[in-house]
Amino acid sequence: MKYTSEEIANILNGTIEGESSKTVSSIAKIEEGKKGDLCFLSNTKYTPYIYTTKASVVIVNKNLTLDKKVDCTLIRVEDAYIAFSKLLELYNKMTLPQSGISDKSDISKSAKIGKNCYIGPFVFIGENVIIEDNTFVFPHSFIGNNVTIGKRTTIFSGVKIYNNCKIGIDNIIHAGAVIGADGFGFAPNSEGNYNKIQQIGNVVTKEFVEIGSNTTIDRATIGSTLIKKGAKLDNQIQIGHNVVIGENTVIAGLVGIAGSTKIGDNCMIGGSTGIAGHLMIGNNVRVAGHTGVGSNIKDGETIQGPYAFNQKEFLRSYIIFKKLPKMYDTLNKIEKTLLK
């Protein structure tokens, strides 16, 4: 990457303060910036570094007020963090491989591959697969029969997508994710064993979904396990059969969601949370990390705790819980006094 400050300002629709011809070829944190680096400043905690950084160009918010002169060129934008993220996205796209199909891949004759796609070595693509334009499938991935993958989607190395699943446009699926494996369904029989319940559904992801490394999403028993538009899933998440994840819901790592639970839109679920099956989680719900969710949650609730309830009530209860040893000692003293 090599851009002038003027070119960057044009990309971001920003305003330049300083030399418009300064060139950057790398990206760095503002506290570590050196000549040729592009940095950003959005958190006021890091403002002192604007006066000491050696970076050539720094992206800042329009409303940033400076106490003294700075050596770097500034590009002022509405939101420096969002603007910088756009540049990172551009940079990331530049590092992706060029389009082309490796002769070491195994592609069914009935599969349809769109324009400007990249299919890496040792990729398997099954019968009747449709891969739309500008999609990347990295090496050692498995794409089962009748799978559809939308435009501009990136499938990183070692991803497994089982038969009949539908992946939306502009998805990102990170290395090692498994999409569409059997749901965990077994029925006890009269002999004390378990009969496997066949899972004949699929997984559907809508547009702009991101799925982290080694996350597993089970296919539905009947119908679809559904990940809606804009949902973001961290690494090592387990999503059971027939689960629905709402639009723009964000789920941190190590979360487990049991089958048939429905999670609403714009929710935030903290890491290491466990959510029982057949529940209804409302819209705009916040779940703190390490929470156990065993009952339905209404819209807008914030919950916390191993047996989840309202976060404010939990914090009040936790303060009391920490005082229990002293309260117990006091109670014993009162009891001894009364028994004299």
pLDDT tens digits along 106-118 = 999 999 999 999 9
> What tokens were used for 330?
């006091």
Beta strands 194-196 and 186-188 are antiparallel
Span 253-262, mean pLDDT?
A: 98
What gap in Å lies between CA 320 and CA 324, rounded to an integer?
6
pLDDT digits 0-9 by tens, 294-331: 999 999 999 998 877 788 888 888 889 889 999 999 99
Q: With cut-offs at 50, 70 and 90, classify the pLDDT of residue 19.
A: very high
Write out the H or E segment, with its range, that includes residue 166. Answer: strand 166-167
pLDDT digits 0-9 by tens, 50-85: 999 999 999 999 999 999 999 999 999 999 999 999
Angle between helix 5-12 and 80-95 (nearest 10): 110
What gap in Å lies between CA 37 and CA 4, rounded to an integer?
11
Q: Which residues of 54-80 are buried (b: 16+ CB within 10 A; e: fewer)?
A: ebbbbbbbeeeeeeeebebbbbbbeeb
Q: By the 8 A CB rule, do 236 and 215 touch?
A: yes
Range(s) within the chain of domains with CATH label 3.40.1390.10: 3-95
For residue 264, how many other CB atoms are within 10 A of its CB?
21
Tell me how far the alpha carbon of residue 48 is from its chain's centroid.
Answer: 31
- 180 vs 340, higher pLDDT: 180
Query: pLDDT over 90 for what percent of the chain?
Result: 87
Closest among 308, 279, 277, 278 to 291, alpha carbons compared: 308
> What architecture is domain 3-95?
3-Layer(aba) Sandwich (3.40)
Angle between helix 311-322 and 324-339 (nearest 10): 50
What gap in Å lies between CA 103 and CA 25, rounded to an integer?
34
Q: With cut-offs at 50, 70 and 90, classify the pLDDT of residue 96.
A: confident
Exposed/middle/buried for residue 276 (C-beta within 10 Å: 0-12, 13-18, 19+):
middle
CATH of 101-314, one of 1.10.3720.10, 2.160.10.10, 3.20.20.10, 1.10.10.10: 2.160.10.10
Range(s) within the chain of domains with CATH label 2.160.10.10: 101-314
pLDDT at 91 > cutoff 90: no
Tokens 């992946």, residue located: 167
The one catalytic residue in 174, 241, 278, 290 is 241
Closest among 157, 136, 166 to 228, alpha carbons compared: 166
| pTM score, whole prediction | 0.85
Q: Is 241 a catalytic residue?
A: yes
Q: With cut-offs at 50, 70 and 90, classify the pLDDT of residue 2.
A: confident
- 320 vs 125, higher pLDDT: 125
Q: By the 8 A CB rule, do 145 and 162 touch?
A: no
pLDDT digits 0-9 by tens, 207-253: 999 999 999 999 999 999 999 999 999 999 999 999 999 999 999 99
DSSP 109: T
- 98 vs 264, higher pLDDT: 264
290: which residues sit within 8 A by CB, 6+ positions away?
270, 271, 272, 273, 306
Q: With cut-offs at 50, 70 and 90, classify the pLDDT of residue 1.
A: low
DSSP string, 201-255: -EEEE-TT-EE-TT-EEEPPSSSEEEE-TT-EE-SS-EE-TT-EE-TT-EE-TT-
